[in-house]
Amino acid sequence: MSPVKKSQNPRIMLVGSFPDMFLEGISELGFDFFLYKSSKAEKTKEADIVVVGLDRLDQAVDFVCKSKAVPVVKKGTRSFVNFDPLAEEGNAFLYEGGSQWHMLQALIRAVETYKFEYDWKVVCDQVNELVLENVPTPV
């Protein structure tokens, strides 16, 4: 993933199932998003942020490695650390509760961070490290 921004607003890929209210909310906020479809897997490279639904958390690392996008995932999902701009650490935006509102709050944090070039580069570098750690080694 390149920390170079393609536009002023990030492209958001949604993976899994999401409540209609969540989809309506991000639409009303004007976010540029698309739903992941395995038949259109090539679009994963277009995403800047990937939101992984509760039903696909076990595949979160795989989706991040495919898309190289900054993840929004539930706290406790393997391999992800909440981004802290003051400490310049973290590779994801985590939400604590399982509700759509917690997920939306984390997504808004990710979108707001996207606006700050230095912070976005820091989180992208951390995502790149995660991707490199999960590259399968040749046999």
Q: How do residues 85-107 score in pLDDT, each as one tens digit?
A: 999 999 999 999 888 999 999 99
Q: How confident is the model at residue 134 (pLDDT cuts 50, 70, 90)?
A: confident
> Does residue 5 or residue 87 have the better pLDDT?
87
Smallest CA-to-CA distance from 80 within 104, 105, 63 is with: 63
Decide: 107 and 26 in contact? Cβ < 8 Å: yes
Amino acid at 40: K
Query: What's the rounded Cα separation, in Å, for the pair 50 and 114?
Result: 13
Q: In what order do the strands lie in the sheet with 70-74?
A: 32-35, 11-15, 49-52, 70-74, 93-95
Query: How far, in Å, are 33, 39, 55, 84, 124 from residue 114 at the CA level?
Result: 15, 28, 26, 13, 10
Q: How confident is the model at residue 39 (pLDDT cuts 50, 70, 90)?
A: low
The confidence score (pLDDT) of residue 2 equals: 47
The confidence score (pLDDT) of residue 135 equals: 74
Tokens 């706290």 locate to 75
The confidence score (pLDDT) of residue 129 equals: 94
The mean pLDDT value of the chain amounts to: 89
- Please determine, for residue 139, whether its predicted confidence score (pLDDT) is greater than 60: no
Q: How confident is the model at residue 5 (pLDDT cuts 50, 70, 90)?
A: low
Instruction: Quote the pTM value.
Output: 0.89
pLDDT digits 0-9 by tens, 62-85: 999 989 999 999 999 999 999 999
Instruction: Give phi and psi for 78, each to the nearest 5.
Output: -55, 135
Q: What is the CATH number of domain 11-133?
A: 3.40.50.2000
The confidence score (pLDDT) of residue 4 equals: 52
Decide: 10 and 111 in contact? Cβ < 8 Å: yes
